[in-house]
Amino acid sequence: VPSTDELVSSILRGSRLALAQSLTLVENDEPNGYAILNQLFPYTGRAHLIGVTGAPGTGKSSIVNQLALQYSQRMEGSPARRVAIIAVDPSSPFTGGAFLGDRIRMRDLAGNPNVFIRSMASRGSLGGLAAGTSGLVQVFDAAGYDVIMIETVGAGQAEVDIARLAHTTLVIESPGLGDDIQAIKAGILEIADLLVINKADYPGVENTERALRANLELATNGQVATTNGQVVEGSGTTAWLPTILRTIATEGAGITELMQEIERHQQHLLQSGEWQRRERERLHIELENLLRETLVARWRATLPAASYQEVLSDLVSRRISHHQAVELLLERKEG
Amino acid sequence: VPSTDELVSSILRGSRLALAQSLTLVENDEPNGYAILNQLFPYTGRAHLIGVTGAPGTGKSSIVNQLALQYSQRMEGSPARRVAIIAVDPSSPFTGGAFLGDRIRMRDLAGNPNVFIRSMASRGSLGGLAAGTSGLVQVFDAAGYDVIMIETVGAGQAEVDIARLAHTTLVIESPGLGDDIQAIKAGILEIADLLVINKADYPGVENTERALRANLELATNGQVATTNGQVVEGSGTTAWLPTILRTIATEGAGITELMQEIERHQQHLLQSGEWQRRERERLHIELENLLRETLVARWRATLPAASYQEVLSDLVSRRISHHQAVELLLERKEG
């Protein structure tokens, strides 16, 4: 077993094996994992973190795969980039299983030296999920990955929390989903930097775009970028208005345009000072998550199991309420 | 402003106004809310808690509305039941907004004296969301509501956590969703007591049922109830195998059969001892959520804001790592 120092220096030299081993230590909350994060942290802060979220069935994985493929073999004067994919699956806490899409993903990307794929199964708590994602991001960032894509299934709180950790958030839609999905969009739209209508060859794409545009107008007080005019000047500052793009990921259509938009967004972030603001916000949230986890774990370690069970029994028999149970437990710990 | 004692006795006498006021106090974590929960808790433990979850666009709200309508005006010898609906929207932490479906809901159910509807917007944290839901459930339970339906949007961790708080969990599906939704199902199926294919008049319903059945067989080691044989005897115990039902909620089709299955499930829970087991499990989870929130809130209250900002700045400039920041904060608090 290599030491922490050995793992860290191997990662910094570009070893995929050391990277994989370290990701596992970090994901499993091993003490060695903390030590690795401590040593790698000064090397972080360079990667472009891209969150990819949206409802099931929209083809998120295909888009992520296409982006990874194209980033990793960039032509046209710009160099190939190193791409990490973190696929977070918050929907399967029981099976702890990986994506079904992983098999398709492996077929397209396996053996590509510039792409590293990591699936992350759900943990017990959401704080844990977001905190775990942050740890993996730090490792990839320090290891020199230029682009880190964080893909989540679904459109719930977990996805929103994880999207908050990204610089650029892509929300993927597709034609033909039901009406009450509109209610979802109201929330998710507010975190979207780019809106992608995938499966743009499906019937109903016009309706989907119209509905998205109407929702966006609500969310941005009537300002929506129709073409490439998404950076608007107003009251001395520049603001980013989400653009709507169409893709057919299975055929690779629209992916080049999507990459250009992602780059435009990155430029906007850097020039407006928003990049630094998001960095600070992200580190703040990560600190909060870790604080919370640590605080609860340490408190629990000092609590005798017997007194916990006793209090729980009193709760179940309704001799005491939840709040009274909490008071008892917190008092006992201090005494 | 009525006192806590007045609110509690009004709730127990059936006042809707006192109920609404108390729900707000509980949802907002007001000290009065805690006091109300403490006093109401001995009156809880009678309601049947039904979780309703599934992907967006499947028609969950329509099914919940139909169930509420039929429960509240029961014929055939059984009395009308009092029904509470808690609509949890974890997808919209920014708008804090209610369901779009609420307007439709209000049209069908407004003025029905046996139905009480409460929308719950998302909170900052998932613990908060589940904890908040638990509080509302307790108030409705003590107030004499026979059936409490907890409806969540999406299929992520939040929904799973909330479904764990129910006696009976309905997972709603509908035909025509994409392929990678199958990955979601693997996780969500394991919490399903009843599987409902809504929009059963849509094309593709046969495919959806076949896919569900295949997934179920995986999840239950090959045992799937084909008709009404879902209670099986084996090795001395009875187990519940999820059944698959079809509905067309917009026309009310299949709702009576769904209610019968829900009742069969309740009977199974009561006879097998599973009801008590789930009660204990639920109270345990609720206790954990509240403990966690309280612990973090109390720790924070003792921390000087200045030292927190100082540590955060050191983190942002990467002078210290996340773990080092947490150590500093936890040490400072103790000193």
Between these two residues, B94 and B317, which has the higher pLDDT value?
A: B317
Question: Please, which pLDDT band fits residue A252 given cuts at 50, 70 and 90?
Answer: very high
Residue B180 has pLDDT above 50, yes or no: no
- For an interface test with A, which of B36, B291, B303, B334 has the most A Cβ atoms less than 10 Å from its Cβ? B291
A59 in Cβ contact with A151 (< 8 Å): no
pLDDT at B79: 83
- Rounded distance between C-alpha atoms, residue B53 and residue B191, angstroms: 10
Question: Please, which pLDDT band fits residue B227 given cuts at 50, 70 and 90?
Answer: very low
Question: Please, which pLDDT band fits residue B98 given cuts at 50, 70 and 90?
Answer: very low
Task: Please tell me the distance in Å from A215's CA to the nearest CA on chain B.
Answer: 12
Q: How far is CA B198 from CA A263, B59, B227, B235, in A?
A: 42, 7, 17, 35
Are B187 and A91 a contacting pair at CB < 8 A? yes
Triad B55, B219, A152: Cα angle to 5°: 40
Are B91 and A59 a contacting pair at CB < 8 A? no
- Rounded distance between C-alpha atoms, residue B158 and residue B153, angstroms: 9
Question: Which amino acid is located at B117 in the chain?
Answer: I
pLDDT tens-digit map of B207-222: 888 888 877 776 666 5
Triad B105, B108, B113: Cα angle to 5°: 100
- Rounded distance between C-alpha atoms, residue B42 and residue B279, angstroms: 14
Please give the mean pLDDT across all residues of chain B: 81
- Rounded distance between C-alpha atoms, residue B121 and residue B226, angstroms: 38
A97 in Cβ contact with B187 (< 8 Å): yes
At residue B147, what are phi and psi to the nearest 5 degrees? -125, 130
pLDDT at A92: 44
The chain A residue lying nearest B126, using CA atoms, is: A126
The chain B residue lying nearest A182, using CA atoms, is: B100
Residue A129 has pLDDT above 70, yes or no: no
Are B125 and A126 a contacting pair at CB < 8 A? yes
Count how many residues are written for chain A.
335
Q: Which chain A residues contact residue B187 at CB under 8 A?
A: 89, 91-95, 97, 122
pLDDT tens-digit map of B281-298: 889 988 888 888 888 888
Q: Which chain B residues contact residue A296 at CB under 8 A?
A: 291-292, 295-296
Question: Please, which pLDDT band fits residue B92 given cuts at 50, 70 and 90?
Answer: very low
- Rounded distance between C-alpha atoms, residue A160 and residue B94, angstroms: 10
pLDDT at A290: 84
Q: Which chain A residues contact residue B298 at CB under 8 A?
A: 330
Quote the DSSP letter at residue B121. E
The chain B residue lying nearest A104, using CA atoms, is: B180
Q: Shortest CA distance to A273 belongs to which of A241, A240, A242, A244? A: A240
Half-sphere exposure in the Cβ direction for A48 (13 Å, CA): 22
- Residue B238: its H or E element: strand B237-240
| Structure-block tokens of residue B204 | 């593709």
Quote the DSSP letter at residue B80. P
The shortest CB-CB distance from A158 to any of B58, B156, B183 is to: B156
Q: Which chain A residues contact residue B160 at CB under 8 A?
A: 91, 93
Are A280 and B316 a contacting pair at CB < 8 A? yes
The chain A residue lying nearest B122, using CA atoms, is: A157
Task: Please tell me the distance in Å from A221's CA to the nearest CA on chain B.
Answer: 13
The tokens 């930097």 sit on which residue? Answer: A193
Q: Within a 10 A sphere around the Cβ of A222, how many other Cβ atoms?
A: 8
Residue B153 has pLDDT above 80, yes or no: no
Q: Per DSSP, what are the bridge partners of residue A54? A: A154, A172
Residue A73 has pLDDT above 60, yes or no: yes
Question: Which amino acid is located at A54 in the chain?
Answer: G
The chain B residue lying nearest A177, using CA atoms, is: B57
Quote the DSSP letter at residue B73. T
The shortest CB-CB distance from A283 to any of B122, B315, B326 is to: B315
The shortest CB-CB distance from A318 to any of B41, B284, B324 is to: B41
- For an interface test with B, which of A61, A89, A157, A173 has the most B Cβ atoms less than 10 Å from its Cβ? A157
A100 in Cβ contact with B183 (< 8 Å): yes
- Rounded distance between C-alpha atoms, residue B220 and residue A135, angstroms: 35
pLDDT at A299: 87
Q: Within a 10 A sphere around the Cβ of A175, how many other Cβ atoms?
A: 20
Query: Average pLDDT for residues A210-229, to the nearest whole number?
Result: 65
First to last CA, chain A: 42
Q: Shortest CA distance to A181 belongs to which of B92, B334, B65, B66? A: B92
- Rounded distance between C-alpha atoms, residue A166 and residue A269, angstroms: 12
pLDDT at A225: 52
Residue B176 has pLDDT above 60, yes or no: yes
Are B57 and A280 a contacting pair at CB < 8 A? no
The shortest CB-CB distance from B291 to any of A100, A292, A329 is to: A329
Between these two residues, B67 and A299, which has the higher pLDDT value?
A: B67
By the 10 Å C-beta count (0-12 exposed, 13-18 middle, 19+ buried), A273 is classed as exposed
At residue B168, what are phi and psi to the nearest 5 degrees? -125, 125
Q: Which chain B residues contact residue A91 at CB under 8 A?
A: 155-157, 160, 183-184, 187-188
Q: How far is CA A89 from CA A55, A121, B157, in A?
A: 13, 5, 9
- For an interface test with A, which of B4, B91, B250 has the most A Cβ atoms less than 10 Å from its Cβ? B91
pLDDT at B90: 52
- Residue B320: its H or E element: none
The shortest CB-CB distance from A57 to any of B99, B178, B188 is to: B178
- For an interface test with B, which of A92, A137, A197 has the most B Cβ atoms less than 10 Å from its Cβ? A92
Are A178 and B326 a contacting pair at CB < 8 A? no
The shortest CB-CB distance from B186 to any of A34, A95, A174 is to: A95
A72 in Cβ contact with A114 (< 8 Å): yes
The shortest CB-CB distance from B90 to any of A127, A156, A324 is to: A156
- Residues of chain A above pLDDT 90, percent: 39
The shortest CB-CB distance from B153 to any of A129, A183, A286 is to: A183
- Rounded distance between C-alpha atoms, residue A130 and residue A109, angstroms: 25
3-state SS, one letter per residue, for chain A: CCCHHHHHHHHHCCCHHHHHHHHHHHHCCCHHHHHHHHHHHHHCCCCEEEEEEECCCCCHHHHHHHHHHHHHCCCCCCCCCCEEEEEEECCCCCCCCCCCHHHHHHHHHCCCCCEEEEEEECCCCHHHHHHHHHHHHHHHHHCCCCEEEEEECECCHHHHHHHCCCCEEEEEECCCCCCCHHHHHHHHHCCCCEEEECCCCCCCHHHHHHHHHHHHHHHCCCCCCCCCCCEEEECCEEEECCEEEECEHHHCECHHHHHHHHHHHHHHHHHHCHHHHHHHHHHHHHHHHHHHHHHHHHHHHCCCHHHHHHHHHHHHCCCCCHHHHHHHHHHHHHC
